[in-house]
Each structure stands twice: as structure tokens, then as C-alpha cells.
Amino acid sequence: MNLHEYQGKDILSSFGVRIQRGYVAKNANEAVAAAKQLTAETGTGWHVIKAQVHAGGRGKGGGVKLAKNLKEVEEIAGQIIGMQLITPQTSAEGKKVHQVLVAEDVYYPGASETKEFYVSVLLNRGTGRNMIMYSTEGGMDIETVAEETPHLIFTEEIDPATGILPFQARRIAFNLGLEGTAFKEMTKFVTNLYTAYVKSDASLFEINPVLKTSDDKIMAVDAKVTIDDNSLFRHKDYLDLRDLREESAIEVEAGALGLNYVDLEGNVGCMVNGAGLAMATMDLIKQAGGEPANFLDVGGTADAARVEAAFRIILKDPAVKAILINIFGGIVRCDRVAQGVIDAYKNMGNIDVPIIVRLQGTNADIAKKLIDDSGLDVMSATEFQEAADKVQSVLA
Ligand code: GDP
Ligand code: MN
């Protein structure tokens, strides 16, 4: 589950990580009230207005702007809320902005220069350990840093038995070129950040930039936080943080029906049981010259109700030109699936794309006969290659 910047910052703050403070606003009036509140609490005269959408690169797309007085807060908030924000990380049509974070300006001048860093916490799947990835090159795309100046990216692996140790926090602060107060602040920052990552069951914390202010405070200016969905049962309070407006509507609907569905760009809809077979089926479609329109794992119980739900989801995608149903009847018998397909097809009434059904496993022969005798416009196949050839022929 991905969080908005303001939600991620709330979590960080609750674990003692210093953040750029702010309040979320849904319209220009609320933004002005938030700005006044921040001025009262922090003394800041300037504010940053930040679009809250699940995408990075907002600054580049005009979704992060500095306001130097309340009139500008009102104007900029009014302009950003409701806009379609296009950033390097969104699709071409962009994302609608429903709310902004009104934050204190933390780039104020002072005794020393401000400096931006990059710090993230994530799982290194190779070693099975969490690691802190960090760089002196904050504020820019980490992908670009990795490509052009990879020697400026450092990693610190953490032993799960001990957690982050003081010498590791000091090494990070040292490699980032800090000294004095800023050095101490950074050790506290990364230690609390790591603890927050573990305790919140996150799978990603990406803080870019981490700012050293002109008075040597270290704080999170941005926060990209992903919580591991499998941990949500023990974080009931995080469930409310989910913003369905940020997710693909069709994926949300499929999820509610208990289907594992991922929307893709292609033209062949897939209905498969089991994630591994679903992946192999997508390869098969590509080999046959098509492009999968989706990943869809209907799970173990491919009965008529589920098959019908899957049909409805697949057919919501107007790009679909054919549907390949590829079911292995191990636990579920093929003849039951075939009957499910026939019932669902009849029930739907208006399927106007060709359907190729490959059923293999227990009672596959009975299933094939059921499909062939059904009188419906459904092609059956028993072999993988045969199914691929049929997909190819209907796409031609
Ligand atoms: P992103 O573009 O989606 O990654 O959004 P960020 O939260 O990282 O903000 C983008 C950029 O806005 C940052 O890299 C900063 O340079 C700038 N910015 C953020 N907060 C402030 C602030 O308080 N004052 C000023 N002057 N600039 C800020
Ligand atoms: Mn950022």
C-alpha cells in the first residue's frame, strides 16, 4: 500500500524522525488556514504548497511551489488543487490533485549552506536483509545518480538481530560529509528512520531530499512510504490511509471480487488459475504475436461465479480483442470449469470477442467435449501450443 507524502511524514514523525511540518488542505481556504497555523507554530513566513498524489517528480511537473505570503498560498493552492499533474512518473494524462500539503519553508538562509541528501530504507532481496541506501546527491532522480555517478551511492546493510548499530549510523553521517551538530542529527535521523521502517512493516521508505538546514537540523522534506500489504492485519490504524482514488479503478474492483488482477497494455485478456501459469500464459501470448491485456489469477475455485466475475473485469478493458482461458484442473476438475465458462458465457449474453479455452488436467477430455458441444463461439484446446496457434489465428 502506497501512502501520500503527508501520511508517510506522520508515521516518520511518530517515531521521532524530524520532518518538514505541514497540514493537508482540500481547498484554498483550508490552505490559508493551514498556513496561518504553521506560522503560529513555527514562525515561518514562507510556505511550500505540495500536490498530494502517488507519484514522484511533482516539483518538475509544477506540483510543488513556494508561496511568500498568504495571498500566494491561496492562489497557488487554488491552482494546484484540481489540476491534472503530469510528472515523469505519471502517465501522459497525469493524476488529478485532490489535496495539497501546506508545509513550512525549510530552505531559509542562515549560518551555513543548506544541503540535500538522499536516504532510503528497503529490503535487499539478494541478502535477505534490510539496507539503508544513501547519497550526497539529494533532490535529484536516484536512477540518474546511479547511472552517472554510481560511486556517490552508498549502502549500509543491517543485521536483523541487532538492528542499526551506532557505528553504522556514524558511518552514514561521515560518508555524507557531515560534522558537528549536523553529524549528530544525522545519526539520530537514520537510527529513528530505520526503527520506523521496521516497526511500521514498510517495504520502502524513500526520503528525497533529506535536508540539512542552514542551522544544521536534519529533516525529511519528502517521504515516499510503502507499507507491506501482508502486514496490514497488525496495523489496523493504517487501513484508513488507503486512498482508492490513487489506484486503478478496475484493479480495485477486481480486488474486491477476490481476483488477483493487474491491468496491462495489450490486447489479449487472460484468465488463468495460479500465478506461475498466469506468467507462462503471458509469455505464450507474446510468442503468438499478441500482447497480454492483463495478469489475472482467478485462484483455486474457478466456478461459474468466479469465471463470470473474471469475464466482466477483463471485458471492461476496451483494448481486449481476444480472451485466452488457461486453467489447470488439479484441485478443481476441468469439466466443472468448462461448465462454469459455458454458464458464465450464457449469463453474460453479449461477449463479442473470440474466446479460446485450454483446460488441462483432471477430466480434460470431458471438458473439451462440453465446450465443443455447447454451441457457443468458444474454441477449445488441450495443448499449450494449440492454444497459442488459436490466439494467433484470431488476432490475424
Ligand atoms: P518531488 O518533486 O515529488 O520529489 O517532491 P519534493 O517533496 O521532493 O519537492 C521537490 C523539491 O521542492 C525539493 O527537491 C526541494 O528542492 C523543493 N522544496 C521542498 N520543500 C521546500 C521548501 O521548504 N523551500 C524551498 N525553497 N524549496 C522546497
Ligand atoms: Mn522528492
Query: Which whole-number Å values give the CA distances from 324 to 226, 296, 309, in the listed order?
Result: 33, 11, 15
Name the residue of 7, 46, 64 whose CB sits within 8 Å of the most ligand 1 atoms, as the mutation to test its pocket: 64
- Ligand 1 atom at minimum distance from 20 CA: 23
User: Has residue 300 got a pLDDT over 80?
Assistant: no
> What is the pTM (predicted TM-score) of this model?
0.85
Average pLDDT score over residue span 91-95:
91
**Active-site annotation holder among 74, 104, 156, 206:** 206
Q: What is the pLDDT of residue 288?
A: 86
- Is 206 tagged catalytic? yes
Give the pLDDT mean for 106-126: 97
Which of the following is catalytic: 6, 23, 74, 118? 118
Name the percent of the chain lying above pLDDT 70. Answer: 100
State the CB neighbour count (10 A cutoff) for residue 314.
24
Residues 322-360: pLDDT tens digits?
999 999 988 788 998 898 889 888 888 878 899 999 999
Q: Are 372 and 341 in contact (CB under 8 A)?
A: no
Range scoring the smallest mean pLDDT among 221-225, 293-297, 375-379? 375-379
| Residue at grid coordinates 491491468 | 263
Whether 58 has a binding-site annotation, put simply, is yes
What average pLDDT does range 128-133 have in this prediction?
A: 97
The answer to the question of whether 332 is labelled as a binding residue is: yes
CA distance between the termini of the chain = 40
User: Which pLDDT band, with edges at 50, 70 and 90, does 375 fall under?
Assistant: confident
Centroid of ligand 2 to alpha carbon of 50 (angstroms): 11
Q: Which residues does a 6 A CB cutoff place in the pocket of ligand 1?
A: 48, 50, 56-59, 64, 66, 105-107, 139, 208-209, 221-222
pLDDT at 221 over 90: yes
89-to-80, 85, 248, 295, 323 alpha-carbon distances in Å:
17, 10, 15, 22, 30
Q: Which atom of ligand 1 sits closest to the CA of residue 103?
A: 23
The three three-digit cell numbers of residue 121, written as one number: 530504507
- Which grid cell sits at 241? 490511509
Average pLDDT, the chain: 94
Q: Are strands 47-51 and 100-104 parallel, antiparallel or unpaired?
A: antiparallel
β-bridge pairing 322-329 and 268-272? parallel
Does the pLDDT of residue 225 top 80, yes or no?
yes
| pLDDT of 360 | 92
With the CA atoms of 155, 160, 162 and 165 taken in that order, what torsion angle do they form, in degrees rounded to the nearest 10? Answer: 10
Ligand 1 mean position, distance from CA 332 (Å): 54
Q: Active-site residue 118, yes or no? A: yes
Q: What is the pLDDT of residue 223?
A: 98
SS3 track for the chain: CECCHHHHHHHHHHCCCCECCEEEECCHHHHHHHHHHHHHHHCCCCEEEEECCCCCCCCCCCCEEEECCHHHHHHHHHHHCCCEECCCCCCCCCEECCCEEEEECCCCCCCCCCEEEEEEEEEECCCCEEEEEEECCCCCCHHHHHHHCHHHEEEEECCCCCCCCHHHHHHHHHHCCCCHHHHHHHHHHHHHHHHHHHHCCEEEEEEEEEEECCCCCEEECCCEEEECHHHHHHCHHHHHHCCHHHCCHHHHHHHHCCCEEEECCCCEEEEECCHHHHHHHHHHHHHCCCCECEEEECCCCCCHHHHHHHHHHHHCCCCCCEEEEEEEECCCCHHHHHHHHHHHHHHHCCCCCCEEEEEEECCHHHHHHHHHHCCCCEEEECCHHHHHHHHHHHHC
Chain center to CA of 389: 35
Look at the alpha carbons of 316, 321, 323, 324 in this order and tell me if their dihedral is positive or negative: negative
CA of 234 to the centre of ligand 2 (A): 29
Of ligand 1's listed atoms, the one at least distance from the Cα of 61 is: 2
Q: What is the dihedral angle through the alpha carbons of 52, 53, 59, 64, rounded to the nearest 10 degrees?
A: -20
pLDDT digits (tens, 9 = 90+) for 26-82: 999 999 999 999 999 999 999 999 999 999 999 999 999 999 999 999 999 999 999
Q: Is the pLDDT of residue 385 over 90?
A: no
* Residue 337, pLDDT score: 87
Residue range 167-179: average pLDDT?
A: 98
Distance CA 263, CA 267 (A): 11
Q: Which atom of ligand 1 is nearest to the CA of 106?
A: 23
Quote the pLDDT of residue 214.
98
pLDDT of residue 396: 83
234-273: pLDDT as tens digits: 999 999 999 999 998 889 999 888 899 999 989 999 999 8
- Residue closest via CA to ligand 1's atom 7 equals 222
β pairing state of 64-67 and 22-25: unpaired
**What distance in Å separates the CA atoms of residue 227 and residue 241, rounded to the nearest whole number?**
10
Q: Tell me, in angstroms, the distance from the centre of ligand 2 to residue 166's CA.
A: 27
Q: Is 50 annotated as a binding residue?
A: yes
C-alpha 77/C-alpha 48 separation (Å) is 10
Angle value at C-alpha 335, between 329 and 340, nearest 5 degrees:
95
